Structure 1
Amino acid sequence: MSQALTVARPYARAAFSMARDEGNLAAWSQALDFAAHVAADPRVAALLPNPQLLPAEAVTLLAQDGASETFTRFLAILADARRLPQLPEIAGLFEELRAEAEHIVKAKVTSATTLSAGELDVIKAALKKRFGREVEVETAVDASLIGGAVIDAGSVVIDGSLKGKLARLQSALTH
Protein backbone atom coordinates (compact mmCIF):
# COMPACT_ATOMS: atom_id res chain seq x y z
CA MET A 1 0.00 0.00 0.00
CA SER A 2 2.78 2.46 0.87
CA GLN A 3 4.41 1.80 -2.52
CA ALA A 4 1.13 2.65 -4.26
CA LEU A 5 0.96 5.90 -2.28
CA THR A 6 4.58 6.70 -3.14
CA VAL A 7 3.81 6.24 -6.83
CA ALA A 8 0.53 8.19 -6.58
CA ARG A 9 1.84 11.19 -4.62
CA PRO A 10 3.55 13.11 -7.48
CA TYR A 11 0.51 12.59 -9.73
CA ALA A 12 -1.83 13.82 -6.98
CA ARG A 13 0.34 16.90 -6.48
CA ALA A 14 0.39 17.58 -10.22
CA ALA A 15 -3.40 17.18 -10.43
CA PHE A 16 -3.85 19.51 -7.46
CA SER A 17 -1.54 22.08 -9.01
CA MET A 18 -3.44 22.01 -12.32
CA ALA A 19 -6.82 22.20 -10.57
CA ARG A 20 -5.67 25.11 -8.39
CA ASP A 21 -4.29 26.94 -11.43
CA GLU A 22 -7.65 26.47 -13.17
CA GLY A 23 -9.46 27.57 -10.00
CA ASN A 24 -11.55 24.44 -10.27
CA LEU A 25 -10.76 22.22 -7.27
CA ALA A 26 -14.34 21.04 -6.86
CA ALA A 27 -14.71 19.93 -10.50
CA TRP A 28 -11.38 18.11 -10.41
CA SER A 29 -12.35 16.47 -7.14
CA GLN A 30 -15.59 15.21 -8.67
CA ALA A 31 -13.87 14.04 -11.88
CA LEU A 32 -11.10 12.24 -9.97
CA ASP A 33 -13.66 10.61 -7.68
CA PHE A 34 -15.61 9.32 -10.69
CA ALA A 35 -12.47 8.04 -12.45
CA ALA A 36 -11.20 6.41 -9.23
CA HIS A 37 -14.51 4.61 -8.69
CA VAL A 38 -14.52 3.33 -12.26
CA ALA A 39 -10.86 2.26 -12.04
CA ALA A 40 -11.54 0.44 -8.76
CA ASP A 41 -14.34 -1.64 -10.29
CA PRO A 42 -12.96 -5.21 -10.51
CA ARG A 43 -13.93 -5.57 -14.17
CA VAL A 44 -12.21 -2.31 -15.14
CA ALA A 45 -9.23 -2.98 -12.86
CA ALA A 46 -8.64 -6.24 -14.75
CA LEU A 47 -8.84 -4.38 -18.08
CA LEU A 48 -6.54 -1.41 -17.33
CA PRO A 49 -3.20 -3.29 -17.34
CA ASN A 50 -4.06 -4.98 -20.68
CA PRO A 51 -1.54 -3.76 -23.27
CA GLN A 52 -4.22 -4.05 -25.99
CA LEU A 53 -6.22 -1.26 -24.31
CA LEU A 54 -5.14 1.92 -26.04
CA PRO A 55 -4.51 4.95 -23.79
CA ALA A 56 -7.22 6.94 -25.63
CA GLU A 57 -9.74 4.15 -24.97
CA ALA A 58 -8.81 4.11 -21.28
CA VAL A 59 -9.28 7.89 -21.06
CA THR A 60 -12.70 7.62 -22.71
CA LEU A 61 -13.64 4.90 -20.23
CA LEU A 62 -12.57 6.89 -17.16
CA ALA A 63 -13.50 10.49 -18.01
CA GLN A 64 -16.96 11.82 -17.22
CA ASP A 65 -18.91 13.53 -19.97
CA GLY A 66 -18.04 17.20 -19.83
CA ALA A 67 -14.67 16.71 -18.10
CA SER A 68 -12.24 19.54 -18.75
CA GLU A 69 -9.61 19.21 -21.45
CA THR A 70 -6.91 19.56 -18.80
CA PHE A 71 -8.37 16.66 -16.83
CA THR A 72 -8.57 14.40 -19.88
CA ARG A 73 -4.94 15.28 -20.70
CA PHE A 74 -4.05 14.33 -17.12
CA LEU A 75 -5.77 10.97 -17.59
CA ALA A 76 -3.89 10.52 -20.89
CA ILE A 77 -0.57 11.08 -19.09
CA LEU A 78 -1.57 8.46 -16.50
CA ALA A 79 -2.60 6.07 -19.28
CA ASP A 80 0.69 6.55 -21.15
CA ALA A 81 2.63 5.88 -17.94
CA ARG A 82 0.41 2.85 -17.12
CA ARG A 83 -0.59 4.50 -13.82
CA LEU A 84 -4.39 4.35 -14.19
CA PRO A 85 -4.67 1.57 -11.56
CA GLN A 86 -3.34 4.11 -9.02
CA LEU A 87 -6.33 6.44 -9.57
CA PRO A 88 -7.98 5.57 -6.21
CA GLU A 89 -4.78 6.51 -4.34
CA ILE A 90 -4.30 9.64 -6.48
CA ALA A 91 -7.88 10.74 -5.76
CA GLY A 92 -7.44 10.17 -2.01
CA LEU A 93 -4.22 12.18 -1.88
CA PHE A 94 -5.81 14.92 -3.99
CA GLU A 95 -8.63 15.18 -1.43
CA GLU A 96 -6.10 15.51 1.39
CA LEU A 97 -4.33 18.33 -0.47
CA ARG A 98 -7.66 20.03 -1.18
CA ALA A 99 -8.78 19.80 2.45
CA GLU A 100 -5.47 21.29 3.58
CA ALA A 101 -5.74 24.14 1.06
CA GLU A 102 -9.34 24.87 2.04
CA HIS A 103 -8.51 24.62 5.77
CA ILE A 104 -10.91 21.75 6.35
CA VAL A 105 -10.49 18.89 8.81
CA LYS A 106 -12.18 15.65 7.82
CA ALA A 107 -13.31 13.57 10.76
CA LYS A 108 -14.99 10.20 11.00
CA VAL A 109 -17.26 9.72 14.00
CA THR A 110 -18.04 6.10 14.77
CA SER A 111 -20.69 5.69 17.46
CA ALA A 112 -22.52 2.82 19.09
CA THR A 113 -25.86 4.19 17.89
CA THR A 114 -26.98 6.68 15.27
CA LEU A 115 -26.21 10.24 16.38
CA SER A 116 -28.87 12.94 16.26
CA ALA A 117 -28.31 16.17 14.35
CA GLY A 118 -27.89 18.02 17.64
CA GLU A 119 -25.21 15.62 18.86
CA LEU A 120 -23.35 15.95 15.55
CA ASP A 121 -23.51 19.74 15.79
CA VAL A 122 -21.97 19.63 19.29
CA ILE A 123 -19.16 17.36 18.03
CA LYS A 124 -18.52 19.59 14.99
CA ALA A 125 -18.38 22.70 17.19
CA ALA A 126 -15.92 21.05 19.61
CA LEU A 127 -13.70 19.86 16.75
CA LYS A 128 -13.82 23.29 15.08
CA LYS A 129 -12.72 24.87 18.35
CA ARG A 130 -9.94 22.31 18.85
CA PHE A 131 -8.50 22.50 15.30
CA GLY A 132 -9.39 26.10 14.43
CA ARG A 133 -10.71 24.95 11.05
CA GLU A 134 -13.94 23.99 9.38
CA VAL A 135 -14.87 20.35 9.98
CA GLU A 136 -16.49 17.84 7.63
CA VAL A 137 -17.90 14.88 9.53
CA GLU A 138 -18.58 11.39 8.21
CA THR A 139 -20.56 9.11 10.49
CA ALA A 140 -20.63 5.37 11.02
CA VAL A 141 -22.30 3.04 13.50
CA ASP A 142 -20.49 0.20 15.28
CA ALA A 143 -22.59 -1.51 17.94
CA SER A 144 -19.50 -3.24 19.36
CA LEU A 145 -18.48 0.12 20.92
CA ILE A 146 -21.29 -0.49 23.46
CA GLY A 147 -21.68 3.27 24.07
CA GLY A 148 -20.01 6.57 23.25
CA ALA A 149 -18.02 7.29 20.10
CA VAL A 150 -14.60 7.23 18.48
CA ILE A 151 -13.54 10.33 16.53
CA ASP A 152 -10.81 9.90 13.93
CA ALA A 153 -9.57 13.22 12.57
CA GLY A 154 -6.43 12.23 10.70
CA SER A 155 -3.55 12.18 13.15
CA VAL A 156 -5.87 12.70 16.15
CA VAL A 157 -8.03 9.85 17.46
CA ILE A 158 -10.33 10.47 20.41
CA ASP A 159 -11.73 7.27 21.89
CA GLY A 160 -14.70 8.08 24.09
CA SER A 161 -16.33 4.69 23.62
CA LEU A 162 -17.32 2.42 26.47
CA LYS A 163 -15.40 -0.39 24.81
CA GLY A 164 -12.24 1.76 24.83
CA LYS A 165 -12.74 2.78 28.44
CA LEU A 166 -13.19 -0.84 29.49
CA ALA A 167 -10.01 -1.82 27.62
CA ARG A 168 -8.06 0.96 29.35
CA LEU A 169 -9.46 -0.06 32.73
CA GLN A 170 -8.53 -3.70 32.13
CA SER A 171 -5.02 -2.66 31.12
CA ALA A 172 -4.66 -0.50 34.24
CA LEU A 173 -5.85 -3.30 36.49
CA THR A 174 -3.50 -5.89 34.99
CA HIS A 175 -0.44 -3.64 35.29
Structure 2
Amino acid sequence: MSQALTLARPYARAAFAIARDGGGLAEWSRALAFAARMAADPQVAALLGHPRLDDTDAVMLLAPEGAAQPFADFLALLAENRRLALLPEIAGQFEDLRADAERIVRATVTSAAELPAAELDGIRAALAKRFGRQVELETAVDEALIGGAVIAAGDVVIDGSLRGKLARLQSALAQ
Protein backbone atom coordinates (compact mmCIF):
# COMPACT_ATOMS: atom_id res chain seq x y z
CA MET A 1 0.00 0.00 0.00
CA SER A 2 2.73 2.47 0.91
CA GLN A 3 4.54 1.69 -2.34
CA ALA A 4 1.38 2.51 -4.31
CA LEU A 5 1.04 5.80 -2.43
CA THR A 6 4.67 6.64 -3.12
CA LEU A 7 4.29 5.84 -6.82
CA ALA A 8 1.03 7.80 -7.03
CA ARG A 9 2.33 10.96 -5.34
CA PRO A 10 4.15 12.56 -8.33
CA TYR A 11 1.21 11.84 -10.62
CA ALA A 12 -1.23 13.36 -8.13
CA ARG A 13 0.96 16.46 -7.81
CA ALA A 14 1.25 16.78 -11.58
CA ALA A 15 -2.52 16.39 -12.04
CA PHE A 16 -3.12 18.98 -9.34
CA ALA A 17 -0.71 21.46 -10.95
CA ILE A 18 -2.35 21.03 -14.36
CA ALA A 19 -5.84 21.38 -12.89
CA ARG A 20 -4.92 24.41 -10.76
CA ASP A 21 -3.16 26.19 -13.62
CA GLY A 22 -6.12 25.51 -15.91
CA GLY A 23 -8.65 26.60 -13.29
CA GLY A 24 -10.36 23.23 -13.36
CA LEU A 25 -9.93 21.68 -9.92
CA ALA A 26 -13.59 20.63 -9.64
CA GLU A 27 -13.67 19.15 -13.14
CA TRP A 28 -10.46 17.20 -12.52
CA SER A 29 -11.84 15.97 -9.19
CA ARG A 30 -14.93 14.59 -10.89
CA ALA A 31 -12.94 13.07 -13.76
CA LEU A 32 -10.37 11.48 -11.44
CA ALA A 33 -13.09 10.12 -9.17
CA PHE A 34 -14.81 8.53 -12.17
CA ALA A 35 -11.57 7.05 -13.53
CA ALA A 36 -10.58 5.79 -10.07
CA ARG A 37 -13.94 4.06 -9.58
CA MET A 38 -13.61 2.46 -12.99
CA ALA A 39 -10.01 1.34 -12.41
CA ALA A 40 -10.93 -0.12 -9.00
CA ASP A 41 -13.71 -2.27 -10.49
CA PRO A 42 -12.40 -5.87 -10.65
CA GLN A 43 -13.70 -6.47 -14.19
CA VAL A 44 -12.19 -3.24 -15.50
CA ALA A 45 -8.93 -3.90 -13.64
CA ALA A 46 -8.66 -7.28 -15.36
CA LEU A 47 -9.32 -5.62 -18.71
CA LEU A 48 -6.71 -2.92 -18.07
CA GLY A 49 -4.13 -5.63 -17.39
CA HIS A 50 -4.85 -7.40 -20.66
CA PRO A 51 -1.88 -7.20 -23.06
CA ARG A 52 -4.09 -6.65 -26.13
CA LEU A 53 -5.73 -3.51 -24.72
CA ASP A 54 -3.85 -0.58 -26.19
CA ASP A 55 -3.34 2.76 -24.42
CA THR A 56 -5.91 4.62 -26.55
CA ASP A 57 -8.65 2.12 -25.68
CA ALA A 58 -7.71 2.29 -22.00
CA VAL A 59 -8.02 6.08 -22.04
CA MET A 60 -11.40 5.86 -23.78
CA LEU A 61 -12.57 3.38 -21.15
CA LEU A 62 -11.48 5.49 -18.16
CA ALA A 63 -12.14 9.05 -19.29
CA PRO A 64 -15.60 10.35 -18.46
CA GLU A 65 -17.70 11.66 -21.31
CA GLY A 66 -16.76 15.24 -22.11
CA ALA A 67 -13.40 15.11 -20.32
CA ALA A 68 -10.96 17.83 -21.35
CA GLN A 69 -7.96 16.94 -23.51
CA PRO A 70 -5.43 17.55 -20.71
CA PHE A 71 -7.19 14.89 -18.63
CA ALA A 72 -7.12 12.42 -21.53
CA ASP A 73 -3.43 13.21 -22.00
CA PHE A 74 -2.84 12.53 -18.31
CA LEU A 75 -4.57 9.15 -18.60
CA ALA A 76 -2.50 8.38 -21.70
CA LEU A 77 0.68 9.09 -19.72
CA LEU A 78 -0.50 6.76 -16.96
CA ALA A 79 -1.31 4.07 -19.53
CA GLU A 80 2.07 4.49 -21.22
CA ASN A 81 3.84 4.12 -17.87
CA ARG A 82 1.59 1.22 -16.81
CA ARG A 83 0.26 3.17 -13.83
CA LEU A 84 -3.50 3.05 -14.46
CA ALA A 85 -3.95 0.80 -11.42
CA LEU A 86 -2.75 3.72 -9.28
CA LEU A 87 -5.79 5.85 -10.17
CA PRO A 88 -7.56 5.32 -6.80
CA GLU A 89 -4.44 6.46 -4.90
CA ILE A 90 -3.86 9.35 -7.32
CA ALA A 91 -7.46 10.51 -6.92
CA GLY A 92 -7.20 10.36 -3.12
CA GLN A 93 -3.97 12.34 -3.02
CA PHE A 94 -5.39 14.85 -5.53
CA GLU A 95 -8.35 15.43 -3.18
CA ASP A 96 -5.98 15.96 -0.26
CA LEU A 97 -4.02 18.54 -2.27
CA ARG A 98 -7.25 20.24 -3.35
CA ALA A 99 -8.59 20.38 0.21
CA ASP A 100 -5.32 21.89 1.41
CA ALA A 101 -5.35 24.51 -1.35
CA GLU A 102 -8.98 25.39 -0.65
CA ARG A 103 -8.32 25.44 3.12
CA ILE A 104 -10.77 22.65 3.87
CA VAL A 105 -10.46 19.99 6.57
CA ARG A 106 -12.33 16.75 6.03
CA ALA A 107 -13.44 15.16 9.28
CA THR A 108 -15.26 11.95 10.13
CA VAL A 109 -17.48 11.79 13.19
CA THR A 110 -18.17 8.22 14.29
CA SER A 111 -20.77 7.92 17.03
CA ALA A 112 -22.68 5.17 18.79
CA ALA A 113 -25.97 6.53 17.41
CA GLU A 114 -27.04 9.00 14.74
CA LEU A 115 -26.24 12.56 15.88
CA PRO A 116 -28.76 15.40 15.52
CA ALA A 117 -27.93 18.17 13.04
CA ALA A 118 -27.49 20.74 15.82
CA GLU A 119 -24.79 18.61 17.46
CA LEU A 120 -23.00 18.15 14.13
CA ASP A 121 -23.11 21.91 13.59
CA GLY A 122 -21.50 22.42 17.00
CA ILE A 123 -18.77 19.90 16.20
CA ARG A 124 -18.19 21.56 12.81
CA ALA A 125 -17.89 25.00 14.44
CA ALA A 126 -15.47 23.73 17.11
CA LEU A 127 -13.29 22.03 14.51
CA ALA A 128 -13.33 25.13 12.28
CA LYS A 129 -12.15 27.20 15.24
CA ARG A 130 -9.43 24.67 16.13
CA PHE A 131 -8.07 24.27 12.58
CA GLY A 132 -8.84 27.75 11.23
CA ARG A 133 -10.33 26.17 8.11
CA GLN A 134 -13.68 25.26 6.65
CA VAL A 135 -14.78 21.79 7.81
CA GLU A 136 -16.54 19.13 5.75
CA LEU A 137 -18.09 16.49 8.01
CA GLU A 138 -18.79 12.88 7.21
CA THR A 139 -20.71 10.78 9.72
CA ALA A 140 -20.66 7.11 10.60
CA VAL A 141 -22.36 4.98 13.25
CA ASP A 142 -20.52 2.31 15.26
CA GLU A 143 -22.63 0.87 18.07
CA ALA A 144 -19.50 -0.70 19.61
CA LEU A 145 -18.52 2.78 20.85
CA ILE A 146 -21.29 2.44 23.47
CA GLY A 147 -21.65 6.22 23.73
CA GLY A 148 -19.92 9.44 22.74
CA ALA A 149 -18.00 9.89 19.49
CA VAL A 150 -14.63 9.62 17.79
CA ILE A 151 -13.63 12.49 15.53
CA ALA A 152 -10.89 12.02 12.94
CA ALA A 153 -9.68 15.12 11.10
CA GLY A 154 -6.46 14.74 9.16
CA ASP A 155 -3.78 13.50 11.57
CA VAL A 156 -5.86 14.42 14.63
CA VAL A 157 -8.08 11.85 16.34
CA ILE A 158 -10.25 12.90 19.27
CA ASP A 159 -11.64 9.88 21.12
CA GLY A 160 -14.57 10.95 23.25
CA SER A 161 -16.25 7.56 23.11
CA LEU A 162 -17.31 5.68 26.19
CA ARG A 163 -15.37 2.66 24.94
CA GLY A 164 -12.22 4.80 24.69
CA LYS A 165 -12.74 6.23 28.17
CA LEU A 166 -13.20 2.73 29.60
CA ALA A 167 -10.02 1.54 27.87
CA ARG A 168 -8.04 4.49 29.30
CA LEU A 169 -9.46 3.80 32.78
CA GLN A 170 -8.55 0.11 32.51
CA SER A 171 -5.03 1.03 31.42
CA ALA A 172 -4.63 3.46 34.32
CA LEU A 173 -5.86 0.85 36.83
CA ALA A 174 -3.51 -1.80 35.44
CA GLN A 175 -0.43 0.30 36.19
| TM-score bracket, shorter-length normalisation | over 0.9
Structure 1 equivalent of residue 30 of structure 2: 30
Structure 2 equivalent of residue 154 of structure 1: 154
Structure 1 equivalent of residue 112 of structure 2: 112
Residue correspondences, number: 175
Instruction: Give secondary structure in 2 for the equivalent of 1:128.
Output: helix
Partner Cα separation in structure 1 for residue 115 and residue 75 of structure 2: 40
Structure 2 equivalent of residue 166 of structure 1: 166
Partner Cα separation in structure 1 for residue 117 and residue 138 of structure 2: 12
Identity of aligned residues (%): 70
Matches of residues 20-59 of structure 1 in structure 2 within 5 Å?
20-59=20-59
Q: 1:116, CA displacement in angstroms? A: 1.1
Are positions 1:78 and 2:78 aligned together?
Answer: yes
Letter in 2 for 1:166: L
Structure 1 equivalent of residue 62 of structure 2: 62
Partner Cα separation in structure 1 for residue 125 and residue 12 of structure 2: 31
TM-score by length of 1: 0.99
Letter in 2 for 1:64: P
- Per-residue CA distance 1:93-152 (angstroms, 9 max, x = gap): 000000000000010110100111111100000000000000011110000000010000
Instruction: Give secondary structure in 2 for the equivalent of 1:109.
Output: strand
Q: 1:45, CA displacement in angstroms? A: 1.2
- Per-residue CA distance 1:137-175 (angstroms, 9 max, x = gap): 111000000001000001100000000000000000001
Letter in 2 for 1:60: M
- Per-residue CA distance 1:39-83 (angstroms, 9 max, x = gap): 000111112122211111111111110111110110011011110
Cα RMSD, aligned residues only: 0.6
Instruction: Give secondary structure in 1 for the equivalent of 2:113.
Output: coil
Partner Cα separation in structure 2 for residue 19 and residue 116 of structure 1: 37
